[in-house]
Structure 1
Amino acid sequence: MSKQAIFDKFIELMGRFAEIKEVAALRDGFIFTTPFTIAGSIFLLLANLPIPGYNDFMISTFGADWSIPLTQVSGATFDILGIIVVLGITYKYTEAEGCDAFSAAVLALSAFVIIMKTTAIGEGGVEVGGVIPKLWAGSNGILAAIVVGVIVSKIFCYCEKNKVTIKMPESVPGGVQKAFAALIPAVIIFALFAIIYAVCNLLTDMTFPELVFAVIQTPLQSLTDTLGGGIVISALPSVLFWAGIHGPNIVSGITNPMLIANALDNQQLVNAGMSLFSNPQAKIVTIQMTDIFFKSGGCGMTLGFLIAAFIKAKSAQLKSISRLSFIPGLFNVNEPIIFGLPIVFNPYLLFPFVLAPVVAFIVTYFAIFIGFMPAFSAVQVPWTTPPVLAGLIVAGWQGAVVQIVNIIIATVIYFPFVISQDKANLKDEQESNQ
């Protein structure tokens, strides 16, 4: 089989993968978490501004407990991320299937609580009962939440589509009909997850989220937090996007749960009073890495392309498209270049489009590894935050410096390929004018 045939087969498989209902629900479900994590990040940042003397000033002004209201907000977002995920995935899946999304999401939340621990260790090592422990409602329970969301969605949609429900007379109000229609699916779902809880507890002395965390989530998080894993995560979206498939959506749907969990693990270190500079316990590859440090200008580090085009472009097409794309590019929106230039199936730009984010990842990875820049906490910014400002917010001045270095390197990588593209455009324009 030729290299082209292998590549075509790979792209075909990725296209089919993107169309899988569970993958789409996973992607959309995590998009659902975005306002919660970003809003929580704002309050978390206000509680931990990296300004010398800030904490002392706030203590002297508002007292020693000044930050508690702020951490309450971050705790009510990051610490229940598993709950938000199970609601989001179930809602999006059942909505896409045309079923009662709200009822399904509530049932999924109940199912998630059924399989969780009901105790937590309080002060002095005393076990407290009748609680929902944030440890498993948050980052540690994310993968279990995904499993619960998918299972509940499938059962609920099957029951609704196959009329495995209680049928009420037409005279009964619609709200009451919906409530009773969810009754049989609820019994089936609750019975299933009660059995899962009992089996896990009997055979492993662990709950389902604990078992999933130990057997699956921990190894996956470790795999993503490696140089090799990060290179794949940084390269694959560009390869797919070049082939006309929205690579970031596909890859993020798979990797974001682990990368968010990595960042939340780092936040636990911060909460324990530990520094994220040169901390061997800290995770290096987190959600901020993918959203900010190797996507300046958008997937493929295309801000480097735009800067190179401003410096060197002579063709009317390249000059006009770079001008039109620059403002969106500052906010990491690069569809005008991807589809307008285009980069899709453009042989001149495949290599830099893949190489630039890989190099940016490697630079960022080693900036953290050698201790120049801290690992990332739970603080996030919207992916549309302009480069340099985003780095400054999530990692201080060091983050801004690393982003600037990455953009310069990306510009250098794109430069010779922009020249080749520009020459081809000039030739086409000259021929069309003859």
Structure 2
Amino acid sequence: MKLNCKEIFDKIEEAVTVRAIRDGLVMAIPVLMIGSLALIFKTLPIVRYQQWLQDFNSGILYDLFSGIYDATFGFLSFYMTLTISVSLTRVKETNKDTVGAPLTALICFLLISGIFIETPEAVIDNFGVNSMFPAIIISVTSTHLYFFIKKRMKFKYQLFSDGADIVFSDTVFAIVPSLSVVSTVSILNLIIVQYSGSNSFTFLITKTLNTLFSHMDYSFASALLFVFVSSLLWFFGIHGSNFLEGVNDSLFGSAIQENITQLMAGLPATEIFSKTFLDVFVLIGGCGSSLCLLAAILLFSKQRSNRQLANLAVFPMLFNINELMIFGLPVAFNPILFLPFILTPIASLVTAYIAVKTGIVPVATVQVEWTTPIFLGGYLATGSIAGSILQLVNLIVGTLIYRPFVKLYDRDKIIASCRNMEALQALFKKSEESNVPIVLTEMRDSAGAMARMLVGELRYTIDKNKFSMYYQPQHDQTGKCIGAEALLRWKHPVFGMIYPPLVIKLAEEAQLLEELEKSIFRMVVRHMDQINQENQKNYGLCVNISAQTIQNQAFISFLREFTKKNSIQKGRLCIEITEKDTLMLDESLYNTLAEIHELGYLLAIDDFSMGATSIKYLQNNQFDLVKLDGNLVRQIDTNIRSKNIVASIMYLADSLGFNVLAEYVEDREKQVALEKIGCLRYQGLLYSPAIPIEDFINYLKKH
């Protein structure tokens, strides 16, 4: 069966190795950002600034920025080896041994980086951007091989030592697979060094690539091949500009000087293809003309994560430092962006060549630093505004080339995200049904990634009050509406309504629950005033607050201050605490509940059953309302035991003086059965689902 392009892309996207590489590249973003800023401050192309930088305190700032750059980009391949191996390890084995494989990968990387070279300086040179491709290959290969060997080890024993039993045992068990992988890589590297005439695997790749250009001369064809190969290398995580630096110098390095010589002789400059020409007019924003990609994302992408990354990358990319975009979006190993990443610089090369060849734009005669921002670089290189206009034209053309692929990438991310969202919700609901706790944000699969992404968006939603409150009406036995329960709703722009218990779970894991519940409380109070003004009548509202929040003194302080600043009629707002949330029944809690009463709020227990814990909550007469557990209500007209339990609760209500409300009243039969045993307050689909505030106000007017 033939696969179309979309199916091929999907298979690549779903591949464990590809996802691990991408995650590893993303994990290195802090290193990239720090290094990019250091490089900008070090090479900012302003003459007076550079003079000041060199003169200030004997160049101490220049040394500072150089040190930071060398410690980040100078060891970028080393860091990438670690992050990619860690990412792949999390997929392979999530519960333990998170160190064995990454350490093994680092040892293997050191081996292939030129450990047989005599000069340490040459080895260190291979730790930076030059060895990105070998770093990716060795981290993936060594990690896969490590777990392949480990899973097939027959001699599995446990060793113990005082104070570190598990750690010691796991570490000893990692020795055999680690030694096997390191030995294998060492032998292969030795073979390469002995029989290829190269000092290292990295040097072998550089030598092979440079061979492509060994018989080429200065021409449009050589410039075209250089741009194509450089972009292709970048796509696979190889710093193409550095790998082909020798080619660049030999073919195009002397062009500017020849143009200057011709001008001094009174002749017109004729050498079009120079390093400055490529930097200024072709590789706008870096390889792949990535400034065009940045513009396309900012103008056409609807994905907030893409736009956030683009906003973060704007500053360094204005100075043609594009690593943050290449490895952060990422562009590297992204099949959807492969075609425009290759085509855009080629289109820019053709456009620029025609413009200069026809005399529309002057030939570049001034050597311009590659970090010079767009428009300024075009003007400085040619001494004409036409150079800046040519840059603008190429920027527009490149942005239009990227546009359909950026929109396709948006759609692909949405489809993948929806698939991950379904998996996350299914996993959480399974946890709910089985009553087996799970920490969603610590999972290292696609569902866990989705949970972490949702946490970030939830934090933004809370900060901007982008969530909604829906209200489910509550009725008495006469059919009269007596109030409503306020229910949180989060409508995600992509996934629609998020399952409310999942929202609470994510907020709890991210330690956002108290902040979220404070925001909910504020919104419900505003809505209560709106409801009462519209209907000229005071209706009661119930708002859910978790047990952990109600027991936090900070929330009580918030409640105290909020009540002072707002006129809340006593007995109109009821705070519900879910019975399944454990309350620490001590004197401090009783004092807290008493203070809540004194502030004028009612208290309710949600999902009340007849367990021992439930009864304890009623002993001190702190709760005003009990909401029956849904399982009891659903079986009230079919299960005699459920009916008897509810009858017992009604007896307690009469004896202890609290009200009872039944949720999940979905048909008239349940309402009648409840009424017969004395339960006279109801909430459920028999009357109405939860509805937005505007609909609830209209509902009240009708009832």
**Which letter does structure 1 place at the counterpart of 2:113?**
M
Corresponding position: 1:136 with 2:126: yes
Q: 1:63 to 1:231 in 2, by over 3 A?
A: closer
1:17-416 counterparts in 2 under 5 A? 17-64=12-59, 66-98=61-93, 100-118=97-115, 128=119, 133-163=123-153, 167-169=157-159, 173-210=165-202, 212-214=204-206, 218=210, 227=224, 255-258=235-238, 260-262=239-241, 279-280=274-275, 288-290=286-288, 292-299=290-297, 303=299, 331=311, 362-363=347-348, 371=364, 377=370, 391=374, 404-405=392-393
Q: How far apart, CA to CA, are the structure 1 residues paired with 2:78 and 2:402?
A: 43
User: Could you state the TM-score of these two structures normalised by the residue count of structure 1?
Assistant: 0.58
Q: Secondary structure of 1:295's match?
A: helix
141-150 vs 168-177, which moves further: 168-177
Contact 1:139–1:265 (8 Å) recurs in 2: no
Rg larger in structure = 2
Q: Secondary structure of 1:112's match?
A: helix
RMSD: 5.2
Deviations along 1:75-127, whole A, 9 cap, x unmatched? 1222222212221221211212125333211111111112332476xxxxxx6
Contact 2:196–2:204 (8 Å) recurs in 1: no
Deviations along 1:156-211, whole A, 9 cap, x unmatched? 12133334675324776222122112100111012112212321232223244245
**Which letter does structure 1 place at the counterpart of 2:138?**
V
Deviations along 1:4-51, whole A, 9 cap, x unmatched? x98x62322222223223222232232233322221121121112111
Deviations along 1:256-306, whole A, 9 cap, x unmatched? 513x34268669999xxx89976449975768344742214445xx72x69
158-167 vs 45-54, which moves further: 158-167
How far did 1:149 drift? 1.0
How far did 1:55 drift? 2.0
Sequence identity percentage: 17
Q: How far apart, CA to CA, are the structure 2 residues paired with 1:390 and 1:298?
A: 18
Q: How far apart, CA to CA, are the structure 1 residues paired with 2:175 and 2:245?
A: 41
Q: Secondary structure of 2:198's match?
A: coil
Q: How far apart, CA to CA, are the structure 1 residues paired with 2:22 and 2:87?
A: 9
Q: How far apart, CA to CA, are the structure 2 residues paired with 1:96 and 1:276?
A: 50
Contact 1:117–1:133 (8 Å) recurs in 2: yes
Which of the numbers 11, 15, 18 marks the counterpart of 1:16?
A: 11
User: Could you state the TM-score of these two structures normalised by the residue count of structure 2?
Assistant: 0.38
Q: How far apart, CA to CA, are the structure 2 residues paired with 1:406 and 1:293?
A: 10
- Greater strand fraction, Structure 1 or Structure 2: 2
**Which letter does structure 2 place at the counterpart of 1:114?**
L
Q: How far apart, CA to CA, are the structure 1 residues paired with 2:247 and 2:28?
A: 19
Contact 1:283–1:375 (8 Å) recurs in 2: no
Q: How far apart, CA to CA, are the structure 1 residues paired with 2:305 and 2:145?
A: 45
Q: 1:282 to 1:192 in 2, by over 3 A?
A: farther
Q: How far apart, CA to CA, are the structure 1 residues paired with 2:377 and 2:91?
A: 35
Deviations along 1:374-421, whole A, 9 cap, x unmatched? 8885x6xxxxxxxxx985899999998677545655799999xxxxxx
Q: Secondary structure of 1:101's match?
A: coil
Q: Secondary structure of 1:11's match?
A: helix
Contact 1:293–1:391 (8 Å) recurs in 2: no
Q: How far apart, CA to CA, are the structure 2 residues paired with 1:325 and 1:152?
A: 31
Q: How far apart, CA to CA, are the structure 2 residues paired with 1:103 and 1:395?
A: 51
Q: Secondary structure of 1:83's match?
A: helix
**Which letter does structure 1 place at the counterpart of 2:45?**
P
Task: Give unmatched runs, 5+ long, in structure 2.
Answer: 215-221, 257-272, 314-338, 357-362, 382-386, 404-703
Higher RCO (Cα < 8 Å, 6 or more apart): 1
**Which letter does structure 2 place at the counterpart of 1:88?**
T
Q: Secondary structure of 2:114's match?
A: coil
**Which letter does structure 2 place at the counterpart of 1:20?**
A
How far did 1:214 drift? 3.7
Deviations along 1:237-264, whole A, 9 cap, x unmatched? xxxxxxxxxxxxxx99x71513x34268
**Which letter does structure 2 place at the counterpart of 1:255?**
F
Q: How far apart, CA to CA, are the structure 1 residues paired with 2:255 and 2:377?
A: 12
281-290 vs 37-46, which moves further: 281-290
22-31 vs 100-109, which moves further: 22-31
Q: Secondary structure of 2:52's match?
A: helix
Q: How far apart, CA to CA, are the structure 2 residues paired with 1:414 and 1:199?
A: 43
**Which letter does structure 2 place at the counterpart of 1:144?**
P
